[in-house]
A and B are shown apart, each in its own frame.
Chain A
Amino acid sequence: MCTSAQVTLAHHSLGGEFDTRKTLVLTGVVSHVEWANPHIYIDLDVTDASGKVATWHLECVPVAMARKAGVSMKMLMGNGDRVTVNAFPARDGTAQLGFMAKITYPDGHHFQFAQDTPAPQGK
């Protein structure tokens, strides 16, 4: 049981910053976890076919939510293995900025932070 940070639930909507109708699938290595509020951020180094590395900055849940779920900074880091991340891109067009809906590690275990199935449109 975690008693840490009270989460002030007055925040912007996820959809106000990220396009939750689009899910990007990124493969890379977690190079840094910023264990901070109001949101944890991870840096994901993604290498393209030419060998060029681009670092994605991916927002995640608040620390209290991660702690309640038993997910620690070390667990998010993994062991330097390649991971797969499902992410929502930033709506303002900022490159390599997204929300991490799900991160999957080489052995198949994963942490899910948002429903990554595209929402139905037209309603």
Chain B
Amino acid sequence: MSLRHWGSLTLAAAAIGMLAIQPGGALAAGEEPAAQKPVPRLSDGHPDLNGTWDNGSGIDFVQPQKSADGSVCIAGCQPVAAAPPPRPPPPSGRTPAANFPHYRPQFLAKVKDLDKRQVEADPVLRCKNPGLPRIGPPDKIVQAPGQMVFLYDDVSGAFWRIIPMDGRPHRTDVDPSYLGDSVGHWEGDTLVIDANQFNDDSWLTDNGAFHTADMHVTERLHRVGDVIEWQVTVEDPKVLQEAWQPRMRIAKLTSSELAEPTPCVDRDLKHLVDDSHHPNPR
């Protein structure tokens, strides 16, 4: 969690706030575009989703500038002459427009109030689990017979999900949680995960987008080459007028490995003198 006025960073963040997150990185000479590579498959014929996946970490707008003397500018840097390359569309071409959940009229005032009081009301500002779908695509996937393991290395901490793939139903004996209870199956080459039994201590996205414990989330992960497209549908009919689909997220296979989880310790909130905050690209 972070960021505003880091010089021009604020504007940069705001400018891209509604854009799909796209992992950066120019191609090396002779390197094949990630999305054009054939999808590897496991012995059961399903796409191989194993690996560490770079989803941009929500900081695509950070473009460090490095100098020969070892200096690095992370934010507030002088403008560079060349603009960053345009973001390519998702490999499949499916790009849902960015949007905000459509709340029932009687809840609009609550959303507005939470938005106004975000610095005191947003759970992630206190290092809480962002919950689904705000946590985004997994950072690592371990695909084992009968189950998937999703690992997350979030600014709020490290989280994980075990997703049975053997056809079992949802559990009925678990407490509500941030990431819910998940079961998965394949629809063709798309991994579909059904999640329910959430708590109501997370937001769908920025700006006061609360949800209830009755929320139902469906994730679809589709590998194209070395890229995973992650799409989500949120149903929460008590408060939403219609199902909500946040923007598609893209994760690119990387050879990097996850680092040891970093502790999340807020030391700022008690020092704030106003409620200003900045846009949230996710």
Contacts and interface: CB of A to CB of B under 8 A. Distances in A.
Given A6-B152, A9-B13, A13-B276, 19 more contacts: A2-B259, A3-B258, A5-B262, A8-B134, A9-B3, A11-B278, A13-B10, A16-B273, A16-B274, A37-B1, A38-B264, A59-B268, A62-B2, A68-B57, A69-B72, A70-B64, A92-B272, A108-B71, A109-B69
Given A4-B259, A37-B264, A65 B74 contact: yes
Interface string A53-70: 000010101111111111
B2 A90 contact: no
A49 B268 CA distance: 30
Interface of A: 1-17, 20, 34-39, 41, 57, 59, 61-71, 90-92, 94, 97, 101, 107-116
Prevailing SS type, chain A contact patch: loop
A111 B72 contact: yes
B282 A8 contact: yes
B281 interface: yes
Given A12-B276, A17-B272, A114-B7, A2 B256 contact: yes
Contacts of B9: 114
Given A59-B268, A61-B74, A65-B59, A3 B256 contact: yes
Contact-residue size bin, chain B (C-beta under 8 Å from the other chain): 35 or more
B278 A38 contact: no
Interface in B217-265: 254, 256, 258-259, 262-265
Given A17-B273, A114-B76, A7 B1 contact: yes
Interface of B: 1-10, 13, 25, 52-55, 57-59, 62, 64, 66-67, 69-77, 118-119, 122, 124-125, 127, 130, 134-136, 139, 152-157, 206, 254, 256, 258-259, 262-269, 271-282
Contacts of A71: 72, 74
B132 to A, nearest CB: 13
A117 to B, nearest CB: 8
Contacts of B3: 7, 9, 11, 14, 61-62
